[in-house]
Amino acid sequence: MPTYRAPVDEVMFLLRDVFHVERYNNLPGFAEASPDIVEAVLAEAAKFCEDVLTPLNRVGDKEGCRRNADGSVTTPPGFKDAYKKLVAGGWVGASAPAEFGGQGLPTVLTQAIREFLYSSNMAFAMYSSLALGAVAAIYNHGSAEQKARYLPKLISGEWAGTMNLTEPQCGTDLGQLRCRAAPQADDSYKITGTKIFISAGEHDLTDNIIHLVLARIDGAPPGTKGISLFIVPKFLLTADGAPGERNAVSCGSIEEKMGIHGNATCVMNYDGATGWLTGEKHRGLYAMFTMMNTARLSVGVQGLALSEVAYQNAVVYAKERLSGRAPGGAKFPQKAADPIIVHPDVRRMLMTMRAFNEAARALVLWTALKGDIARRSTDAKEREAADDHMGLMTPVIKGVLTDQGFANTVAAQQIFGGHGYIAEHGMEQFVRDARIAMIYEGTNGIQALDLVGRKLPKDGGRALQAFFAEVSGYIKEADAAMAPYVKPLGHALGELREATQWFAQNAPGNPDNAGAGATDYMQLFGLVALGYMWCRIVDAAKARTASAGMDEKLVAARFFMERMLPATATHLARIKAGAESTMALPADAF
């Protein structure tokens, strides 16, 4: 049975020592979140995740969700009780605006808690994540009446939410979407169509489910320009806002799938269901993107979360499993063999996971803090800069953290040898669960194209230039003792600049050059961002050398610089090779 300890001390170190969160006390919600309170909240969340959710992770995987003859869906044993506790603890909308019943806590704090939730039970945690996506969409695009009717219950967790984009013929290319919305005399619409792969589409955890559905109003233009966003509750609300009559939306079936069995992935049938437009007509994709950006960051956190829990279990096993002797001679001669943690190849895998997890967590929290600034600062320039950062870093966090997070679950499984492949230790579940994060919320290939095609050129490259300026400014000012860290970072930054320049010169004439190099560019970008995070961590660790564990951070940082960051050269070489050999064969040669 896998175990999990939420990394509360790590989060506290990042918030306090690396990002000095107390400096943001002028932002609404931050002054209330004093270090003592933050530590207490994290400790409480850790306890819930460790004691309640971790034991349910295997149950959810084994039992899965069941669709009953009447179309209702039963979640795995224990999920309902755990969900009640999640709601009672106020965990669902902890960062949501106080005017709608949230606690207004900084997202830099609640994003850390999301990591704990996903590590302990990703399938369970997804139910509440989707509600938060719905909150973001309605809060930013809904009418005052819609906000009043739906937000308080979504924020408290009493009701859940979903996002309905995908249809059988289209996932990435939503321009092909067919779901229809017929206008009615009373300002409502009748929604008709089939959505597939809908996470948390139907379940027994809440009294109502608020579906956010993309559909095309009759007569709307074809393509993405004719798509609108609708609120379609499972139960229509009575005049006083309570769930009333059942709407014409139902779960046709639950998809059989590779992992996250505790989360119901549903085919949803809309048979003239009543819905209400939210946001502007034909601007549904724009409105949905508000939800998608929140969701993409959250999915990036899933990659980190599964990497962390898989790492923790691999460490335990590597210290217990006896096999062979250390290359330089027995380290534990009194034992029948040395534990496998003595072997450099096993260390390589453990160090790779550790060096990724700590920097990835820093990148997530740094970006969450920017999100808080973008939403809460009174200074327009500061808000703009923070928003630029969010836009630029969202595809990087989604793509890089889920790719490497999945690779790390495989490495952790590898440390268990054959025992990782069989189910007993739970390692293969982490691999299966982690895999989806590379696919949904826009595949990682699409994240890379978003970065290269949209985020780099946006506003004349303002966000990218700000990132370059921040990292190069940091390198310039670093003292000589930081040379082992900032020198490799400077080199990698130079390669990232070179790759950017190469695209500027070679993509306009041949867009395939951008498409063929986009994934390498995203990975190269991610390595530079993680390298920068390591430098910031080292700075903070050096200032606290007397504290336990700080020297270990310097070693992990060195490992990252020496053994992981050099991959930037390979990515650059691939980018500069261009698209020619990738695209040379005609389709029928495959």
Ligand X SMILES: Cc1cc2nc3c(=O)[nH]c(=O)nc-3n(C[C@H](O)[C@H](O)[C@H](O)COP(=O)(O)OP(=O)(O)OC[C@H]3O[C@@H](n4cnc5c(N)ncnc54)[C@H](O)[C@@H]3O)c2cc1C
64 counts as binding ligand X under rule CB under 6 A: no
* Helix %, strand %, coil % of the chain (to 5): 60, 10, 25
Q: Pick one of 446, 516, 537, 565: the residue that binds ligand X (CB under 6 A).
A: 446
293 counts as binding ligand X under rule CB under 6 A: no
Shortest Å, Cβ 245 to ligand X: 25
165 counts as binding ligand X under rule CB under 6 A: yes
274 counts as binding ligand X under rule CB under 6 A: no
How many chain residues touch ligand X (CB under 6 A)?
Answer: 21
Task: Pick the closest to residue 442 from 70, 71, 149, 174 (CA basis).
Answer: 174
Helix (H, G, I), strand (E, B) or coil at 213: strand
Within 196-215, which residues bind ligand X (CB under 6 A)? Answer: 197-199
482 counts as binding ligand X under rule CB under 6 A: no
- CB-closest chain residue to ligand X: 171
Q: Pick one of 89, 244, 445, 494: the residue that binds ligand X (CB under 6 A).
A: 445
Task: Pick the closest to residue 350 from 320, 311, 323 (CA basis).
Answer: 311
Rounded CA-CA distance 131/61 in Å is 22
Considering only 97-105, 167-175, 245-253, 277-285, which stretch makes contact with ligand X by CB under 6 A? Answer: 167-175
Within 244-273, which residues bind ligand X (CB under 6 A)? Answer: 257, 265
In the complex with ligand X, the residue whose CB is nearer, 449 or 537, is: 449
Rounded CA-CA distance 157/91 in Å is 8
Q: Pick one of 59, 326, 337, 439: the residue that binds ligand X (CB under 6 A).
A: 439
Structural tokens at position 331: 């380290």
Which class for 308: exposed (0-12), middle (13-18), buried (19 or more C-beta within 10 A)?
buried
243 counts as binding ligand X under rule CB under 6 A: no
160 counts as binding ligand X under rule CB under 6 A: no
Helix (H, G, I), strand (E, B) or coil at 354: helix
172 counts as binding ligand X under rule CB under 6 A: yes
Shortest Å, Cβ 407 to ligand X: 17
Considering only 151-159, 366-374, 435-443, 526-534, which stretch makes contact with ligand X by CB under 6 A? Answer: 435-443
Amino acid at 148: A
Shortest Å, Cβ 166 to ligand X: 4
Tell me the CA end-to-end span of the chain in Å, nearest whole number. 44
Q: Pick one of 159, 406, 440, 525: the residue that binds ligand X (CB under 6 A).
A: 440
Amino acid at 97: P
Contact pattern from residue 119 through residue 158 relative to ligand X, giving x for each residue in contact according to CB under 6 A and a dash for the rest: ----------------------------------------
Considering only 171-179, 374-382, 459-467, 501-509, which stretch makes contact with ligand X by CB under 6 A? Answer: 171-179
DSSP 197: E
- Tell me how long the chain is: 590
Residue linked to tokens 């002028």: 26
Identify the sign of the CA torsion 224, 229, 234, 236.
negative
In the complex with ligand X, the residue whose CB is nearer, 139 or 440, is: 440
**CA atoms within 13 Å, Cβ hemisphere of 418:** 0
Shortest Å, Cβ 435 to ligand X: 9
436 counts as binding ligand X under rule CB under 6 A: yes
Shortest Å, Cβ 484 to ligand X: 38
296, 394 contact by CB (below 8 A): yes
In the complex with ligand X, the residue whose CB is nearer, 388 or 433, is: 433
In the complex with ligand X, the residue whose CB is nearer, 153 or 195, is: 195
Shortest Å, Cβ 265 to ligand X: 4
Considering only 394-402, 436-444, 544-552, 569-577, which stretch makes contact with ligand X by CB under 6 A? Answer: 436-444
Bridge partners (DSSP) of residue 193 are 270
Shortest Å, Cβ 441 to ligand X: 6
In the complex with ligand X, the residue whose CB is nearer, 546 or 587, is: 587
DSSP 507: T
Quote the radius of gyration of the chain (alpha carbons, Å). Answer: 24
Structural tokens at position 344: 């450099």
Shortest Å, Cβ 126 to ligand X: 9
Shortest Å, Cβ 184 to ligand X: 25
Q: Pick one of 171, 244, 252, 461: the residue that binds ligand X (CB under 6 A).
A: 171
Phi-psi region of 29 (alpha: psi -120 to 50; beta: other; left: phi over 0): left
In the complex with ligand X, the residue whose CB is nearer, 291 or 309, is: 291
| Active-site choice (115, 202, 441, 495) | 441
Shortest Å, Cβ 167 to ligand X: 8
In the complex with ligand X, the residue whose CB is nearer, 345 or 580, is: 580
- Type and span of the H or E element at 182: strand 180-183
164 counts as binding ligand X under rule CB under 6 A: yes
Is position 441 annotated as part of the catalytic site? Answer: yes
In the complex with ligand X, the residue whose CB is nearer, 267 or 556, is: 267
442 counts as binding ligand X under rule CB under 6 A: yes
Rounded CA-CA distance 283/462 in Å is 25
Rounded CA-CA distance 305/116 in Å is 7
Q: Pick one of 86, 96, 136, 163: the residue that binds ligand X (CB under 6 A).
A: 163
Shortest Å, Cβ 305 to ligand X: 16
40, 80 contact by CB (below 8 A): no
DSSP string, 36-101: HHHHHHHHHHHHHIIIIIHHHHHHHHHH--EE-TTS-EEPPTTHHHHHHHHHHTT-TTTTS-GGGT
Q: Pick one of 192, 194, 414, 443: the residue that binds ligand X (CB under 6 A).
A: 443
Residue linked to tokens 């219950």: 153
The greatest distance separating any two alpha carbons of the chain, rounded to the nearest whole angstrom, comes to 84
Q: Pick one of 110, 128, 156, 166: the residue that binds ligand X (CB under 6 A).
A: 166
306, 434 contact by CB (below 8 A): yes
Distances (CA, A) of 31 to 35, 58, 105, 327: 10, 39, 10, 54
Positions touching ligand X (CB under 6 A) are 163-166, 170-173, 197-199, 257, 265, 436, 439-440, 442-443, 445-446, 449
Which residues carry out catalysis?
441
